Structure 1
Amino acid sequence: MRLTNYTDYALRSLIYLAVKPAPQALANISDIADSYNISKSHLTKIIHQLGQLGYIDSVRGKNGGIRLARAPKDINLGVLIKQIEPDFALVECFATTLPNDNSSQNNEATQKGLPITLIEESKNAASVGCVISPACQLKAVFFEALNAFINVLERYTLADIINNKDELNTLLSL
């Protein structure tokens, strides 16, 4: 499993905002982009989504900027990643979880909040793209691995990954 740069930059942005010496002071996107040497325009889209999801407060105007909207201990990494990562389909026999799907694995995925499920075994293999899909045991292994991946992420919060604030401040030139 590989997370997208989008998710990576979202996490980096939250880290930046959480380790600032004055956490409630406003920061700006340019400072974050410069600290990590990443595109300001790309980061603007990410910050916008983080704001829509309630992770970041933004203040408009001449003295505006952004700051965390929640305490770092209240930002669960697994929940955040499930909200912003666009694709958890590790293989082509995974699909977006459907709200009315009642299969046991799909209920397990929904209960865990996973945005994926396994495509029904009874479907035509040609529609999935893999001829062994109806008999394949590998997809269940991948599904279990993805669940484990998400479960580990859900054990951590932003606070857990910023307990070395002084070192991070130095590296980010804060």
Structure 2
Amino acid sequence: MRLTNYSDYALRTLIYLAVKPSPNALANINDIADSYQISKSHLTKIVHQLGKLGYIESVRGKGGGIRLSMHPRNINIGELIRHTESDFNILDCLTDPTPDGSPTLASKLGNSSTIPSVDITADDVIAQSCVISPVCQLKGVFSEAMLAFIKVLDGYTLADVISNADELLEYL
């Protein structure tokens, strides 16, 4: 799976805010965009969503800016990715409704505000669009791979990925 730039920039924004020398100091979108050499307008949309999701808080007015609204150890990477990615389907057939009406993998991993349990099985996804779908085992393999991917991300927090904060700060 390849993450979108949206998720990449969301992660980078949180990393930037987490490694600032003073955690309560405010940062601004222009500085973040300049540090990473990314679009300010695109970053503005991402910062807005991160604020709506409760990851960051913004202070308006002169001298305003943004900062993390919670400790980095409370920001789960898997949960963040579920909020910022719109499509977890590696194959098109994984989006098709299941014959029995049960939820697809996409609906189980989609943009939820809570971390779903990882007791989903690869058999949860049965698609109908492909002629071999009723007997195809490939979609089960990819469903299992996606579940494993998300499960690994669920095991990490922002604090884990900024354990080298001093080194990261040198590059920002």
- Does residue 86 of the first structure (1) align with residue 86 of the second (2)? yes
Q: Hey, what does 2:20 align to over in structure 1?
A: 20
Give the whole-Å Cα distance in 2 for the aligned partners of 1:134 and 1:104.
15
Q: Hey, what does 1:134 align to over in structure 2?
A: 134
Give the whole-Å Cα distance in 1 for the aligned partners of 2:74 and 2:97.
26
Equivalent residue runs for 1:52-63 within 5 Å: 52-63=52-63
Query: Please, which moves more after superposition, 81-90 or 3-12?
Result: 81-90
SS in 2 for 1:9: helix
Q: Hey, what does 1:166 align to over in structure 2?
A: 166
Q: Hey, what does 1:111 align to over in structure 2?
A: 117
Which stretches in structure 1 are left out of the alignment for 5+ residues?
Answer: none
Normalization by structure 2: what TM-score? 0.85
Identity of aligned residues (%): 60
SS in 1 for 2:58: strand
Q: Hey, what does 1:69 align to over in structure 2?
A: 69
Q: CA deviation at 1:120?
A: 3.8
Normalization by structure 1: what TM-score? 0.84
Q: CA deviation at 1:86?
A: 1.1
Which stretches in structure 2 are left out of the alignment for 5+ residues?
Answer: 110-115
AA aligned opposite 1:133? S
SS in 2 for 1:58: strand
Q: Hey, what does 2:34 align to over in structure 1?
A: 34
AA aligned opposite 2:53? L
SS in 2 for 1:66: strand
Give the whole-Å Cα distance in 2 for the aligned partners of 1:106 and 1:40.
30
After superposition, give the CA deviation of every residue in 1:82-120 in whole Å (9 maximum; x if it has no partner). 11111101111112899xx54797997653399xx9654
Q: Hey, what does 1:45 align to over in structure 2?
A: 45
AA aligned opposite 1:28? N
Contact 1:26/1:66, CA 8 A, preserved across alignment: yes
SS in 1 for 2:159: helix
Root-mean-square deviation (CA), in Å?
2.8
